[in-house]
Amino acid sequence: MIPQKLAEGIYEVGAIDWNVRDFHGYSTDLGTTYNAYLIVDEKIALIDTVKKEFTGRLLEKISRIVDPSKIDVVISNHTEMDHSGGLPAIMEVVGREKPVYCSKMGRKNLRRHFPDWLNLQEVADGQELSLGKRTLQFLETRMIHWPDSMFSYLKEDQILFSSDGFGQHYAGPERFDDEIDDAVMWHAKKYFANILWLYAPLIQKLLEKVLAMDLPIKMICPDHGIIWRRDPGKIINAYVQWCKQQPEESALVVYDTMWHSTESMAEAIVAGLWEAGVKAQPMHARNVHRSDIVTAAFDAKALVIGSPTLNNGIFPTLADVLTYLKGLRPKNKLGAAFGSYGWGGEAPKAVHEILSDMDLEMVEEPLRIQFVPDQEALDACRDFGRRIGQIIKKDK
């Protein structure tokens, strides 16, 4: 419960949630953090709060630095409840009359969430707020990842408080990028793939706008996960690349199986992809969480989905994954479907249609094998994988 000092008069005062394991369908196997930041100047500012259940921890950390009632202003960069849930209770301590600065959409959202006594003050893109020796500049960043989102930039210290941008769902002993090294990048990519992928075109434009401002940035302080102090440019450059949605020369084979027939097909297809010189990975949809499948799908050039037919339709786990993936609107990918069946064999056709509706380029007709695949059928599966691999190689 000790505040983390970031610079003279600047502290991280949020909470670590070690036990959360699901975040809106996203697996958080290592928990997460709800970061909040305190700036002590002639005016004292609190940037964001925490999930409601962790309000006491936030107040305890603040109290180690200053009396919370001495806080002059609160900044709400994002109104989602993991960052604003504690706001009413905080303002009861800080003072009901004290201003809460937020974007135009933030003001609208907070009015719908919380009591009308909150003193909400709308700020415009580029507007500045003097704290005395320091100045906060507000940058509207709609759809990173809600319409209300904004960044707050501390000009004199060159610190960017980036709300849900550049974050990760990661709770650990490390608080900075130089303490965890490259291991954090996987968590950052998973966060981007599952939460921000849908908004990649918009984020790309926003990043271009922010980069064009040529703001010197010494530190990036997101609302989840570690703080980027050694090399903030690393995560900025990663976002620039991820927004381009340029997949690797690889394939992801996602499947489920009832009596191992579709599983045998998947393994043969993976073997064919490898024979074509393409890195391929099988993922059993019942054994791998949907959010980890999506993280792998983000990098893959081809998504090859295999489902047995159950009740004339797609196996439930595959329907779950496809619904989740469709909402993220993947771009620049190839698609194919396969599966075993007993009599009707509708599932591969249904998968094919869903992938096609996602605007994936369908490179093969659905491959269907009745009952247990024999050697001839497995050879056909390898050929299926090999052909997809050859298209991937040609398409690079």
Instruction: Tell whether the model's pLDDT for residue 396 goes beyond 70.
Output: no
Domain boundary among 221, 244, 267: 244
| Together in a domain, 306 and 206 | no
> CB of 18 within 8 A of CB of 74?
no
Q: Over the stretch 278-318, which tens digit does the pLDDT of each residue have? A: 999 999 999 999 999 999 999 999 999 999 998 888 999 99
| Together in a domain, 149 and 271 | no
> CB of 333 within 8 A of CB of 301?
yes
pLDDT of the residue at 72: 98
Q: Does the active-site annotation cover 289?
A: no
Domain boundary among 244, 264, 299: 244
Q: Over the stretch 86-101, which tens digit does the pLDDT of each residue have? A: 999 999 999 999 999 9
Burial class (CB in 10 A: 0-12, 13-18, 19+), 275: middle
CATH (domain of 307) = 3.40.50.360
| Together in a domain, 44 and 173 | yes
Catalytic-labelled residue, pool 34, 153, 170, 191: 191
Looking at the 3D structure of the chain, how many domains does it have?
2
Share of the chain above pLDDT 70, in %: 99
pLDDT of the residue at 242: 96
Instruction: Tell whether the model's pLDDT for residue 271 goes beyond 80.
Output: yes
| Together in a domain, 162 and 265 | no
| Residue that the structure tokens 């993947």 belong to | 330
Q: Over the stretch 246-264, which tens digit does the pLDDT of each residue have? A: 999 999 999 999 999 999 9
- Taking the model in full, what pTM does it have? 0.94
pLDDT of the residue at 389: 96
Please state, in angstroms and rounded to a whole number, the distance separating the CA atoms of residues 83 and 74: 12
Catalytic-labelled residue, pool 82, 177, 263, 267: 82
pLDDT of the residue at 393: 92
Q: Over the stretch 43-53, which tens digit does the pLDDT of each residue have? A: 999 999 999 99
Q: Over the stretch 139-169, which tens digit does the pLDDT of each residue have? A: 999 888 888 999 999 999 999 999 999 999 9
CATH (domain of 152) = 3.60.15.10
Q: What is the mean pLDDT of the chain?
A: 95
Catalytic-labelled residue, pool 22, 24, 156, 181: 24
Q: Does the active-site annotation cover 113?
A: no
| Together in a domain, 153 and 35 | yes
| Together in a domain, 55 and 116 | yes
Q: Over the stretch 356-367, which tens digit does the pLDDT of each residue have? A: 999 999 999 999
| Together in a domain, 28 and 132 | yes
Instruction: Tell whether the model's pLDDT for residue 336 goes beyond 90.
Output: yes
31 pLDDT tier (thresholds 50, 70, 90): very high
- Is 396 part of any domain? no
Go through 197-206 and write b for each residue having 16 or more CB atoms within 10 A of its CB, e for each that does not: bebbebbbeb
| Together in a domain, 354 and 326 | yes
Domain boundary among 199, 214, 244: 244
Share of the chain above pLDDT 90, in %: 89
| Together in a domain, 12 and 96 | yes
Catalytic-labelled residue, pool 41, 80, 256, 267: 80
- Is 22 part of any domain? yes
Q: Does the active-site annotation cover 164?
A: yes
Give residues with Cβ within 8 angstroms of 11, minimum separation 6.
Answer: 3, 4, 5, 37, 38, 40, 61, 65
Tokens of 329: 């609107």
- Is 157 part of any domain? yes
Please state, in angstroms and rounded to a whole number, the distance separating the CA atoms of residues 39 and 229: 17
Enclosing domain of residue 298: 250-391
345 pLDDT tier (thresholds 50, 70, 90): confident
| Together in a domain, 11 and 57 | yes
| Together in a domain, 187 and 301 | no
Q: Does the active-site annotation cover 224?
A: yes
Catalytic-labelled residue, pool 140, 164, 263, 346: 164
Please state, in angstroms and rounded to a whole number, the distance separating the CA atoms of residues 246 and 355: 18
Q: Does the active-site annotation cover 260?
A: no
- Is 65 part of any domain? yes
| Together in a domain, 152 and 180 | yes
Q: Does the active-site annotation cover 361?
A: no
Catalytic-labelled residue, pool 83, 187, 224, 352: 224
Give residues with Cβ within 8 angstroms of 106, minimum separation 6.
Answer: 76, 77, 78, 79, 120, 122, 148, 150
Instruction: Tell whether the model's pLDDT for residue 342 goes beyond 90.
Output: no
